[in-house]
Structure formats: structure tokens, C-alpha cells
Amino acid sequence: MIDNIDLSLVDWSRAQFALTAIYHWLFVPLTLGLSFILAIMETIYVRTGNEEWKRITRFWMTLFGINFAIGIATGIILEFEFGTNWSNYSWFVGDIFGAPLAIEGILAFFLESTFVAVMFFGWNKVNKKYHLASTWLVAIGANLSALWILVANAWMQHPVGMIFNPETARNEMVNFWAVLFNPVAVDKFLHTIFSGFLLASMFVLGISAWYLLRKREEQIAKKSILVASVFGLLSSLMVAYTGDESARTISKVQPVKFASMEALYDGKSNAGLIAFGILKDTDQKLGDKRVKEFAIKIQIPGLLSVLTSGDRDAYVPGLKDHISGNEKMGIISTVQKMQNGKIAMDALKAYKRARMVNDTAQISSIKGVFKEKEFNEKYFKYFGYASVNKPEDVIPDVPGSFYSFHLMVVLGFLFIIIFSVALYLLFKGTLSANRWFLWVALLSIPLPYIASELGWFLTEVGRQPWIIQDMMTVSRAVSQISTGSVITTFILFAVLFTGLLISEVSIMINQIKTGPKH
């Protein structure tokens, strides 16, 4: 049971993974988005033959190169951690995690060793069209590379397309397409790449605004702002659309996370969407967890029901429905899921005992049970619940989920406004005169990074205590290694990544101050 596990080991392992993932994600989205911005700028250069667009492309390519190079291989550390700190998990997920990561590795290797080299070394060595094709291939390849990582993560949120083999203690992929087209994967991929496009657009807009504030490189800055604002506005609209789709999917496949995002304890029809709210503790408890309520809230009536089901009268289940069950709405209680999970666990224990005494008939019979559709849908689906002590343990951090979600949404709308204003002022010809806006654009560079990290925070914290939704708790996944070694590597990573980040920022600032080459 969860209580038997050394919680400091679990917490340090989680902290270490979170630290490396957060740092890794500081480098990735800029690569995803800036690669497409470069491809667009170079396309304009090739089509118009205007050398200024070549200068613009080469300047942003320098910043892309710095980010790409510093960030390269930071994700490999996560794979080290899977093998060392999360060995039970790594074994249990089997080839479902391994296959997408292997495809990603091969894609990344071929991209990085060929087309990136052509992008940087090939300006005067290959013809314009071949160079342009390489730039597009880097952009497409980098984003496709991200697809496989996101497919793997999506499977952890909504495991599909596999069957558990008790003999190997691994999940085995039986339907590759179900894994690839997992609804969570599709939403996650689109939402993530568009947020990367948005982040890179804000990066280009902010730095270009700095040039205008310094009255330097004005033509290049305005041309860059034009591309960044159009691309950024379209991307931010797509981020809003895919975010909405993503929330709808979560409401179906991770309803407890969804209820936590909205801090919805009591399910209701005609449920309102919280536009703004501040939570406070109440005297009421759900199990041993204190129920939160809103000290202040601005709510849009009926919108949550409409967004989840397209019907104002639709019932949106709350946390209490998921914990206690709601027969009328067809929601089974957590206690029931714990009982179902225990049946699956008992079957696995029986298999283990049969293997110890080499009872081949029993082994074969239980292996057959694990292949049955009904057993998988009714019992093994809730395998992780056998490790849960109390029903309320399946509720994630409600304030953390609520605030991260709502702050991300507010920032998302702010980005739409910033890109719209940038375009308006640019077409009006008053962009340089509106210095207040140039400052806003410059100071907004960190905001998409914050929004992006908040998105991941919600994704990961909002599904606790699960590492694989409903099937494996984080505590079961961790390797029994010494907590001291995890703390040591946590500190090493903190130093290494902070050093890399400082290097990146200082080299970038140097290049920005130098400006585009004449």
C-alpha cells in the first residue's frame, strides 16, 4: 500500500523529474516555433529575392541555433531517470513507451545531423531551394519529433491499445494506431505545438520591440514583427481552440482532474465556468481532505456544461460524485473502483503464486483471464486502485490544478490581445510611436514560458496520484534506491541546468546586442 513506501524517496524522485522536465521544456517550445518562423521568413526571401529577408532569416537562425544547441540532449536525462528512478514504471509500460521514444530518437538524430547542418553551413554551398527545403524539413521534423514524446505522455494520461502480460509483467502494444490516435495524444500534440509557435512569436515580437525602442534595425524589426504577429495571432487562436478541445477530452477521460481544474466539488446541471476565483478552506471535509470553496468568484452561468457537452442542461460531475459515485449519472464510486482493482491485483498475486510452484494449468488459466476483454474493461482498468488506501487519495491538489489552469487561460487571452494590437499598430504605422506597447511586448517574452510550464504543471499534478491513469500510482513506479543519491543528482541537475540556462541567455543577449550582420 502507499503507506509502505518511503515517501521521501517518492517525493525526491518526483522533484528531480519535475526539475529536469521543467528545464528541458524551457528549450523545446522555442525550437518548435522558431523553426517554422525561420521557414516562413526564408520562403519570403526565396520568393521575393529581397536580400533583407535573408539577413532577417539568418539573424533569427542564430538565436534558433543557440537555443537548439544548448537544449539538445537535455531530454535524454529524463530517459536516464526512467531507467534508474522509475524502473518499475519503465518495465510495466513495456514497448508502449519505448517504441515512440525510439522513433523520436531516430528522427532527431537524422534531422540534427543532416538538415540542421545544411541550414547553418549551407547558405553559400547549396542552392536556395534546397536550403529552403532543409529549413522546412527541420521545422516539420522537430515538431514530428515532439509528436512521439507527446504520444508517450498521452498514453500515461489515457492508456489505450495495449494488453497486460502477467508473464513478463509488461503492457504489450496490440494496437499501434490506437496509441498514436489516442484522443489525448491528438489534443496534446496540437495544443503543445501551437503553444510553441505562440511562444516563439512572442520571442520574435519582444526582441524586435527592443530594437524599435533602441531605434536600431527598424526595417528588420518591423518585418519580423509582421511575421511574428500574424503567426502569433493565428497560433494563439489555435491554442485557445485546441485548449478547449483538450479540456473536453479531459472531462471524459480524466474527470477527477477536470473537476479539480474547476474546483467543482458538487456536480450540477447548467454548471458555470469560473472566469476568476480565489479559493479558501472550509470546515467541510471530503474524507480527510478539506473542501475548498470560493472566497470570490466571477462565473459565466451554464458555460461549463456547454463546453463539456454542448448542452446548457448537461450534468457536470463534481469531485464528490467521483468519490461517492452517482448511480443516476452512471458514475461508479472510488470504493467500487478499489474493489475492482483489488480483483485484478488478486489475479496477479494468484499468477505469481502459481509461477512459484510451477502450476502450469493455473498459469495458463490466469494468463487467459488477463486477455479477456471483460476482465480488462471491468477490473484491470482499475488495477492501480488496489494500491489506494482511501477514496479521497485519488483527488489531486485542487488549488494547484485550479490556479495553474486559470492562469494559463488568462495568459492565453492576453496573447491574443497583444498580437492583435501589434498588427493593428503596425498597419496603422504607429508601432514605433507607441513605446508603451513596445515595452509591453518586450516584457511579455517570459509570459508564454510561464503559460507553457503551467500547462505541464496542470497535466502532471492534476493526475496525481497516478503515473499511469487508474493503473499505476507514482509510489508503485519508483525504484527502491537510496534517497540520498536522488538528492545528490537533484542538486547536480539544478547546477548543470542553471549553468546551461545562464549560458544560453548570455550568448543570446550578446547576439541580440550585436544585431543582424550587414
Give the binding site for other proteins (CB under 8 A): 1, 4-6, 62, 65-66, 69-70, 72-73, 76-77, 80-81, 83-85, 87-88, 90-92, 117, 120-122, 125, 166-170, 345, 348-349, 351-352, 355, 387, 475-476, 479-481, 485, 488-489, 492, 496, 500, 503, 507, 510-511
Minimum CB separation of residue 119 from other proteins in Å reads 10
The number of beta carbons lying within 10 Å of the beta carbon of residue 61 is 22
Minimum CB separation of residue 126 from other proteins in Å reads 9
User: Closer to other proteins at the Cβ: 166 or 448?
Assistant: 166
User: Closer to other proteins at the Cβ: 314 or 501?
Assistant: 501
User: Closer to other proteins at the Cβ: 85 or 254?
Assistant: 85
Instruction: Determine contact, residues 340/328, Cβ cutoff 8 Å.
Output: no
Minimum CB separation of residue 459 from other proteins in Å reads 25
Instruction: Determine contact, residues 473/384, Cβ cutoff 8 Å.
Output: yes
Minimum CB separation of residue 53 from other proteins in Å reads 20
Minimum CB separation of residue 43 from other proteins in Å reads 23
Minimum CB separation of residue 69 from other proteins in Å reads 4
Instruction: Determine contact, residues 152/101, Cβ cutoff 8 Å.
Output: yes
User: Closer to other proteins at the Cβ: 117 or 275?
Assistant: 117
CA-CA-CA-CA torsion for 346, 352, 356, 361, nearest 10 degrees? 80
Rounded to 5°, the CA angle 297-300-306 comes to 135
Cis peptide before 465 (omega within 30 of 0): yes
Minimum CB separation of residue 378 from other proteins in Å reads 19
User: Closer to other proteins at the Cβ: 167 or 377?
Assistant: 167
Minimum CB separation of residue 369 from other proteins in Å reads 15
User: Closer to other proteins at the Cβ: 90 or 208?
Assistant: 90
Instruction: Determine contact, residues 303/409, Cβ cutoff 8 Å.
Output: no
Conformation bin of residue 215: beta by default, left when phi > 0, alpha when psi is -120 to 50: left
- The interaxial angle of helices 218-253 and 183-213, nearest 10 deg, is 160
- Backbone φ, ψ for residue 329 (5° rounding): -95, 5
Minimum CB separation of residue 162 from other proteins in Å reads 16
User: Closer to other proteins at the Cβ: 262 or 504?
Assistant: 504
Instruction: Determine contact, residues 474/466, Cβ cutoff 8 Å.
Output: yes
Minimum CB separation of residue 83 from other proteins in Å reads 4
User: Closer to other proteins at the Cβ: 168 or 364?
Assistant: 168
Instruction: Determine contact, residues 272/308, Cβ cutoff 8 Å.
Output: no
For residue 51, give every residue at least 6 positions away whose Cβ sits within 8 Å of its Cβ, in sequence order, or none.
45
Residue 141 CA to its chain's centroid (Å): 19
For residue 411, give every residue at least 6 positions away whose Cβ sits within 8 Å of its Cβ, in sequence order, or none.
447, 448, 450, 451, 454
Return the half-sphere exposure (C-beta side, CA atoms, 13 A cut-off) of residue 472.
23
User: Closer to other proteins at the Cβ: 27 or 402?
Assistant: 27
Rounded to 5°, the CA angle 112-114-116 comes to 55
Q: Hey, what's the cell of 270?
A: 447548467
User: Closer to other proteins at the Cβ: 247 or 345?
Assistant: 345
Q: Hey, what's the cell of 135?
A: 529549413
Return the residue matching grid coordinates 449519472: 329
Return the residue matching grid coordinates 496540437: 190
